[in-house]
A and B are shown apart, each in its own frame.
Chain A
Amino acid sequence: MDWNTIASALFPRGHDITERDLFLSGTAQVGETRVAVVGTTGHAPIGVEIALAQARFILQTVREHPGRPILILVDTVGQRLRHRDEMLGINSYMAHLGKCVELARRQGHPVLGLVYDQALSGGFITSGLMADACYALPDSTIRVMGLPAMARITKVPEERLTELAASNPVFAPGPENYLRMGGVREIWQGELGAQLEAALAELAPVDERAALGLARGGRKFAQPVIEAIMAGRDVLAS
């Protein structure tokens, strides 16, 4: 999916987003509001450089434009799988990015994520999943890893996984499953610009994904377990 096409649909009033080595950054006009836009394209593998570039842009926005909303455009195949990135401590670079997103939210910046193409594992949890709310386009792909790799590691035959994937949202890829689990707030269709404008107006300051997952039937245990621990109950009320 070409990011330019998505950007034109999201920002009919214009934007100045640029791409550099699969890294996207810039600003855009949404209604009367100027929005900071950061993200990746081309199914970017997230290595230390791109994680740091995203963090730098977010810190700069916090420093120079207090309160400006931030939209994170997600298209990544996950963390870069290289010895060098591990040697340099890629987990620290990713954690740093996640902390910068958290700081922005704490300082009053509404933060939205939008999975417009692919979202895999490590690249996703420190970007879109750290936002106040994450949205997805219907044709996007969201997953931890492909079923063949999962079959190798879990030692469950791929045919069995494919069969289960049809009915169980827990390990089947796709935005609908993340919607059911509360990880994705809504799947956007139709007028993207209007959806974005509406989403910016209704952000939740607390993490309510476990409650959403329960309400939508995709994660029935997370919220009851959290509540049982909070209440000091030993037995689940569900």
Chain B
Amino acid sequence: MSSYLELSARERLAQLFDAGSFTEFLPPKARVISPHLAQLDAPVAFDDGVAVGRACLDGRTVFAAAQEGGFMGGAVGEVHGAKLVGLLRRAIAERAAGVVLLLESGGVRLHEANAGLVAVSEVMRAVLDARNAGVPVIALIGGANGCFGGMGIVARCTNAVIMSEEARLGMSGPEVIETASGVEEFDSRDRALVWRTTGGKHRYLLGDCQELVADKVADFRAAAIATLDRLQVQETALSLAALEAEQDMLARRLDRFGTLEEPMQIWAALGIAEPRSLPLLEAGPFVEQVAAHRIGAN
């Protein structure tokens, strides 16, 4: 069974969706590349690090995007961001059954920083436009680079986040924090700490991710299908009631855990008897064991 983490963006698209169903918009042969990289003598990619298009998921027509972590860490520049915005707007126009975003990104591409920053905010608005139009948007996170910076925010603007145990989701990567605030603040080489802080299990326990799966494409596919099914019968748009509930959830999180220093202390505070055992558990047994303790799926 394929490891999702080890696959390229295009391999993920090919294996996650119904066989042969992915049709790409602006494929590499269209040669739409970033106009800003050459002047910095940086390499370019003919898809600018993201493949977007239409696909079938268990027979349903959905729109899909996959960021390629192998090209500049999946970072968002002008063209990369515009491809995501175009995809989301077309999904609205064609009343797609959903949009599936395979996110793997360090955030804004510094080589075209300003354009990337504006682009990320355009992607945020486009995601919320799709939701408002009744098109559910879901994010899958399971790549080696994690999902950080602006894309970490985009992920939490979707209807649902699906992560693997190995996935990471956050705002600033550990190296950035270590550089800015010192190794005592966050030791980026302490892999176990990095994982406890931003990894899939911690996000699942906090309620920032709705499904936790093993690092297998088939598991991501099954979770994506189930999530899309669930969202067909739910309100996808933002509402005052839902955002007030989220406000309460985030405020309670701050009250309960704001003075703690270690993710494991949070797990203990959630009532988990042996927090030290969590890192060792496979996804299935982990989900079973923490079901009664995790903060409610939203």
- Seen from chain A, the residues whose Cβ lies within 8 Å of a Cβ on chain B are 48-49, 52, 55-56, 59, 62-63, 79, 81-96, 98-100, 102-103, 106-107, 121-122, 124-126, 129-130, 142-145, 149-150, 152-154, 156, 160, 164, 168-172, 177-178, 181-183, 207, 209-210, 213, 218-223, 225-230, 232, 234-236
Tell me the complex Cα distance, A96–B298, Å.
Answer: 13
Asked if residues A232 and B25 are in contact (CB atoms below 8 Å), the reply is yes
A143 partner, pick from B39, B114, B156, B179, beta carbons under 8 A: B114
Kindly state whether residue B172 has any CB partner on chain A within 8 Å. Answer: yes
A130 partner, pick from B108, B125, B237, beta carbons under 8 A: B125
Kindly state whether residue B217 has any CB partner on chain A within 8 Å. Answer: no
- List 7 A–B pairs whose Cβ atoms lie within 8 Å, in order of A's numbering: A90-B172, A99-B238, A156-B40, A170-B78, A170-B112, A177-B114, A226-B89
Tell me the complex Cα distance, A177–B198, Å.
Answer: 34
Closest to A53 in B: B251
A86 partner, pick from B177, B253, B257, beta carbons under 8 A: B177
Tell me the complex Cα distance, A133–B25, Å.
Answer: 30
Asked if residues B246 and A209 are in contact (CB atoms below 8 Å), the reply is no
Chain B contact patch, size range: 35 or more
Question: For chain A, what secondary structure do more than half of its interface residues adopt (helix, strand, loop), or is it mixed?
Answer: helix
Question: Taking the nearest CB of chain B, how far is it from the CB of A39, in angstroms?
Answer: 17
Kindly state whether residue B19 has any CB partner on chain A within 8 Å. Answer: no
Asked if residues B254 and A88 are in contact (CB atoms below 8 Å), the reply is yes
User: In the assembled complex, which residues on chain B have CB atoms less than 8 Å from the CB atom of A122?
Assistant: 149-150, 153, 171-172
A228 partner, pick from B26, B121, B170, B254, beta carbons under 8 A: B26
B186 partner, pick from A83, A88, A92, A221, beta carbons under 8 A: A83
Asked if residues A213 and B118 are in contact (CB atoms below 8 Å), the reply is yes
Give the top 3 A-B pairs by smallest Cβ distance, nearest first. Answer: A229-B86, A95-B156, A144-B113
- Seen from chain B, the residues whose Cβ lies within 8 Å of a Cβ on chain A are 25-27, 29-30, 32, 34-36, 39-42, 52, 78-79, 81-83, 85-87, 89-90, 93, 108, 110-122, 124-126, 128-129, 132, 148-150, 152-157, 169-172, 174, 176-177, 179-181, 185-186, 197-198, 202-203, 206, 208, 237-240, 243-244, 246-247, 250-251, 253-254, 257-258, 260-263, 266
User: In the assembled complex, which residues on chain B have CB atoms less than 8 Å from the CB atom of A142?
Assistant: 114
User: In the assembled complex, which residues on chain B have CB atoms less than 8 Å from the CB atom of A98?
Assistant: 124, 153, 157
Question: Taking the nearest CB of chain B, how far is it from the CB of A209, in angstroms?
Answer: 6
Tell me the complex Cα distance, A90–B258, Å.
Answer: 12
User: In the assembled complex, which residues on chain B have CB atoms less than 8 Å from the CB atom of A81?
Assistant: 172, 176-177, 180-181, 185
Asked if residues A63 and B240 are in contact (CB atoms below 8 Å), the reply is yes
Question: Taking the nearest CB of chain B, how far is it from the CB of A164, in angstroms?
Answer: 6
Asked if residues A225 and B32 are in contact (CB atoms below 8 Å), the reply is yes
Assuming the contacts A82-B181, A83-B186, asked whether A145 and B110 have C-beta atoms less than 8 A apart, the reply is: yes
Asked if residues B247 and A56 are in contact (CB atoms below 8 Å), the reply is yes
Closest to A149 in B: B179
Asked if residues A83 and B197 are in contact (CB atoms below 8 Å), the reply is yes
A226 partner, pick from B85, B132, B179, B206, beta carbons under 8 A: B85
Asked if residues B153 and A125 are in contact (CB atoms below 8 Å), the reply is yes
Question: Taking the nearest CB of chain A, how far is it from the CB of B195, in angstroms?
Answer: 12
Assuming the contacts A79-B172, A171-B112, A207-B122, asked whether A234 and B26 have C-beta atoms less than 8 A apart, the reply is: yes
Interface-centre pick from A171, A172, A178, A213 (highest chain B CB count, 10 A): A171
User: In the assembled complex, which residues on chain A have CB atoms less than 8 Å from the CB atom of B118?
Assistant: 129, 178, 181-183, 209, 213, 219
Can you add 4 more A-B contacts, CB < 8 Å, to A154-B111, A171-B110? A87-B260, A94-B153, A106-B132, A145-B113
User: In the assembled complex, which residues on chain A have CB atoms less than 8 Å from the CB atom of B81?
Assistant: 222
Asked if residues B206 and A99 are in contact (CB atoms below 8 Å), the reply is no
Tell me the complex Cα distance, A62–B85, Å.
Answer: 27
Tell me the complex Cα distance, A56–B23, Å.
Answer: 42
Tell me the complex Cα distance, A221–B115, Å.
Answer: 10
